[in-house]
Amino acid sequence: MKLFGVIGKPVMHSLSPAMMNAAFRAQGVEAVYLPFQVEPGDLVDALRGLRAIGAVGINVTIPHKLGVYDWVEARTEEAEMARAVNVVRFTPTGGVGHNTDVGGWWASVAPFLGEGALRVAVLGAGGSVQAILTALAKERPGSQVCVCCRRHEQAEQLAARYADWLSIRHVPWPDRHETIARADLVVQCTPIGMWPNGEESPVDSPDCFHAQQVVQDIVYRPLRTAFLRQAEARGAKVVDGASMLIWQGVKAYEWWLDREAPVDVMRRAVYGALEREEADRRE
């Protein structure tokens, strides 16, 4: 029996166990995927322990992506560019770090985008933004990205890091609506609107959205955030945050096992779990 898992804090809410275990069952893989809550101070001990007991690989979530990046003995190009690791494959002497948030995010939005460089509005400047910028640098170099956030220095650091591939500029938070209106692709990367505050939105009025846009919210609890409902009402193509979760899981599964993942099975597991959660909250 192969052992896989996810480490983080908190982690018991993760949908990855349901998604990965469903994939294992569908393909007859003798494996189990478990959640492991790990304190930041225990990270190295946890990684060594998982390797020692023969774990094949793990996913990594908040707050450990940077700590694991420092721990692994080798990293893929995606991990190096994003400066974060969300997937590890253990080796006899340590582990190889990868970042499937990069390819997972791109797979979630690419089917809805045209060709060529993009005008992108990103709300927020947290860790997920680095994966998005890495994907744009790899897949759509030359794109213009406006990072709407409150801290100017965060956006400036990102602009310097990705200067060889992207034109990035900071947009003060109060000016976000005008920036959204000019964008081909809008990605909401703040926790605004996350359950239990599902009626909150980072946008004051839906008037900034239009039918030629693709709009994504990486929040997936609730699945249809107020932000997405605003964009959809104006005719934009909306993409929920669960799609990024699913595709990063697909990429991790394939990287670990070197076989095609059962995408539809993984998709049904995630959306089914989210629908059950929302039904329970309504009762």
Q: Which CATH number describes the domain made up of 103-240?
A: 3.40.50.720
Confidence of residue 281 (pLDDT cuts 50, 70, 90): confident
pLDDT digits (tens, 9 = 90+) for 12-30: 999 999 999 999 999 999 9
* Each residue's pLDDT tens digit, 96-135: 999 999 999 999 999 999 999 999 999 999 889 999 999 9
How many angstroms separate the CA atoms of 52 and 92, rounded?
9
Q: Where are the chain's structural domains? A: 2-98+243-282, 103-240
Asked whether the domain spanning 103-240 has the same topology as the one spanning 2-98+243-282, the reply is yes
| pTM for this predicted structure | 0.95
- For 128-171, how does the pLDDT look when each residue is reduced to its tens digit (9 = 90+)? 999 999 999 999 999 999 999 998 999 999 999 999 999 999 99
Q: Nearest Cα to 134, choosing from 193, 198, 181, 65? A: 65
* Residue 138 bears catalytic tag: no
Label residue 280 exposed, middle or buried (CB < 10 Å: 0-12, 13-18, 19+): exposed
Query: Do the bridges between strand 144-149 and strand 2-8 make them parallel or antiparallel, or are there none, so unpaired?
Result: unpaired
Going by CATH, does the domain composed of 2-98+243-282 fall within 3.40.50.10860?
Answer: yes
Edge-to-edge strand ranges of the sheet holding 237-239: 167-172, 144-149, 119-123, 185-188, 214-217, 237-239
Q: Which of 2, 9, 65, 251 is catalytic?
A: 65
For residues 172-197, average pLDDT: 95
